[in-house]
Chain A
Amino acid sequence: MKKIYVREDWCLGCHLCEYYCANANLGGGDMWKNLKGKAIRPRIRVEGDNNVSFAVQCRHCDEPHCLKGCIAGAISIIEGVVSIDQNKCVGCCTCVLTCPYGCIVPTETGVMSKCELCVNNAGQAKKDKEGGIVGFIPACVQNCPNNAIVVEETEVTA
């Protein structure tokens, strides 16, 4: 199971993760084409200033409040990733009200979005030599200039 960690000591407060996140979730590709002149809607958020800063995104809780409170049953854990089915979401914001870390954000259309570790972003696929997809590397992890966001595979405990 994948878990993402934020290491405050190394966060520079550059906010690049927010832009790479927003871009990856818009399908990736040239960032300026996706984001030029637009307000970004990243699923990761940097708090703080130059001295103390850190990024916060979904912690992929084992016991997610958002999932348990979702009135539409739109949130589920898929292979360890707390995921929102945006076709089911009706945008009631109960998950926003229950997430202890403030990690669920509305999209432009009003349904909710959250970090899903880029597992649905084809552009973030890790490929083997034959081109087969062997996993996904979150855009924030891949592009953090100081390794302040890292992803780690952890043992699944039954």
Chain B
Amino acid sequence: MDLYVYPEFEVVRNEKKCICCQACSRQCANLVHSYDEATDCMEADDSKCVNCHRCVTLCPTKALKIVKSDHTFRPNANWSQATINELYLQANSGGVLLSSMGNPQPHPSYFDRLLLNASQVTNPSIDPLREPMETKVFLGRKTPVPPLEANNTTAVPEPYNPDGTLKTEMSPQIELSMPLMFSAMSYGSISYNAHASLARAATQLGICYNTGEGGLHKDFYQYGPNTIVQVASGRFGIHADYLDAGAAVEIKMGQGAKPGIGGHLPGKKNVGQVAQTRMTPEGSDAISPAPHHDIYSIEDLRQLVYSLKEATGNRKPIIVKIAAVHNVAAIASGIARSGADIIAIDGFRGGTGAAPTRIRDNVGIPIELALACVDARLRDEGIRDDVSLVVGGSIRSSADWIKAIALGADACYIATGALMALGCHLCRSCHTALCNWGIATQRPDLVKRLNPEIGTQHLVNLVHAWQHELKEVMGGMGINSVEALRGNRLMLRAVGMTKEEMNMLGVKMAGESA
């Protein structure tokens, strides 16, 4: 007999208000709710509840709430309830624990211990409603274009033409109305309607979304100018038209939620249009290897970067995305020298559709520190302008976004926040593929719960709201363009940090003058 694990959540139904409309039972893909005809009552099987709030949200009389069970083991500061339950689950299954979305552990947040500056007296603040406030940014190499030969790693680009005039030809750039993008989520890990929402919203907003490694559904080629197409270790769905369709090509080396490991879309999910889009046999497991098997060095990476540049006629900037790991600064330096135009770094709180729990919760480093040290390293080496830096991994609000820019990011990637705008309630059950919100599922009856018209609107609303906040904060600082905020660490002060932490972030203690 299996070791018993008590349900984590309890469904609390206000019987006075429940009218047995059965919306909850119809909407729960986990089959928690059921109607009992004999008693004319709704019943709930707590053990199946993942606390996604679908029933709570739809209940027309608001008769439902989900509470965390107060059932307890003998209190133990060392052995937490979750640890004990996970141990039992593994004793039962013998398997690796699986989780999804971002790291939920109470690791310290540096964003929360950074505070922003504002103008007082000696410098005027700006009212963004009355004065222009530039949020547009371009991502890509800002320095002159190096010779195209892939093996030329040493030639310093000559900034002048033989006649003495300045070279003005720029490397290809991504133009964004604001320094924000939706990060990579593959078609397969999320639904067609989720992709449709992201693509349409990115287009309306003048920003980009990212295909992830699952290829690009033929319906979404129309959003190409606002699409970043990804090339990952599985090389799914990649062909010439795909590479050409986007505004940029991203090579995915790693992911913040699961650095060092690959991906695995089970055969039962790799069906229909998902398989077609991935260009894989229907029903086969779609496995993304942990490494790219043709990339074991920066030189190998350079081969791929230049292959992709050539394949796209040198018209698309190339992004290399890595997870934030211990020696991220050195790796980033290598990437900058590989010819990549943009480096994307994904912090350890970044989300995923499925990852081993222990890896998600314990591998990688916070994005704030990774960003600060990469920015510093590239500056130190004089190659900061050769690349743009994009960071993600739990940008939860415009405050995190603004702080990241001040720490040196050219733009931020958001995904978890975007999914929440689509309805995600962070139940972290994506790996079950039974997403009640129609996001992380391929079951048609669930997928249609996400109407892209609504999804698009919510995304547009969210990003517009953040843009307003960005402008207000910049205005308060007396800054009227994102360019002037980027890397402006004087706009940041630390509270509750050690000297080393402040050094690493390159920020002063709150109270310390400039």
Contacts and interface: CB of A to CB of B under 8 A. Distances in A.
B280 to A, nearest CB: 26
A12 interface: yes
A108 B451 CA distance: 36
Task: Report whether over half of chain B's contact residues are helix, strand or loop; otherwise say mixed.
Answer: loop
B433 to A, nearest CB: 16
A10 B22 contact: no
A10 B60 contact: no
Contact of B21 (A9, A19, A37, A50): A19
B451 A146 contact: yes
Interface string A12-35: 111110111001000000111001
B22 A15 contact: yes
Contacts, number: 60
Interface string B11-34: 000001111011100110000000
B453 A19 contact: no
B58 interface: yes
* Contact-residue bracket for chain A: 20 to 34
Contacts of B22: 15
Interface in B444-478: 444-445, 448-449, 451, 453-454
Given A16-B58, A31-B61, A146-B449, A36 B23 contact: no
A15 to B, nearest CB: 7
B509 interface: no
Given A12-B27, A32-B16, A19 B60 contact: yes
Nearest to B21: A19
Contact of A32 (B61, B445, B453): B61
Contact of A19 (B19, B57, B451): B19
Interface of B: 16-19, 21-23, 26-27, 57-58, 60-61, 63, 444-445, 448-449, 451, 453-454
8 contacts: A12-B26, A14-B26, A19-B60, A32-B17, A32-B19, A143-B60, A146-B449, A147-B451
Given A9-B448, A19-B21, A32-B16, 15 more contacts: A12-B27, A13-B26, A14-B27, A14-B58, A15-B23, A16-B58, A16-B60, A19-B23, A31-B61, A32-B19, A32-B61, A36-B17, A143-B60, A146-B451, A147-B453
Interface of A: 9-10, 12-16, 18-20, 23, 30-32, 35-37, 50-51, 143, 145-148
